[in-house]
Amino acid sequence: MAQFSFCQQVSMENYVLKNIGYISIPSNMELQNNNTSQFYPKEASRKSGFEVSDNRVVFQEKGTDSNGQNEFSSYARVILKTTIGNAGDFESLTTNLAAAMPELSKLDTQLKSEIEQSFTGTGVKLIDWYGVQIVTVNGKTALCISYLRQLNDQPNVKVSIYQFNNNDRLHKLTLSYTQKDAAKWEALYSKILTSFTITNVR
Angle, vertex CA 11, rays to CA 9 and CA 12, nearest 5? 150
- How many domains does the structure of the chain reveal? 1
Residue 136's domain spans which residues? 2-198
Q: Give the C-alpha separation, 177 to 10, whole Å.
A: 17
**Ordered per-residue pLDDT tens for the chain, 202 residues:** 455 555 567 788 898 898 899 999 998 898 887 656 655 555 544 555 677 877 899 999 887 665 556 655 678 999 999 999 999 999 999 988 876 676 788 889 999 999 999 999 999 999 999 999 999 998 899 999 999 999 998 999 999 999 999 999 999 999 999 999 998 899 999 999 999 999 999 9
d(CA 134, CA 172): 14
User: In terms of DSSP bridges, do strands 56-61 and 76-84 run parallel, antiparallel, or are they unpaired?
Assistant: antiparallel
Evaluated on CA atoms 158, 133, 82, 120, the torsion sign reads: positive
CA angle 35, 12, 38 (to 5 degrees): 35
Q: What does the pLDDT read at residue 63?
A: 77
Task: Give the CATH number, domain containing residue 35.
Answer: 3.40.1000.10
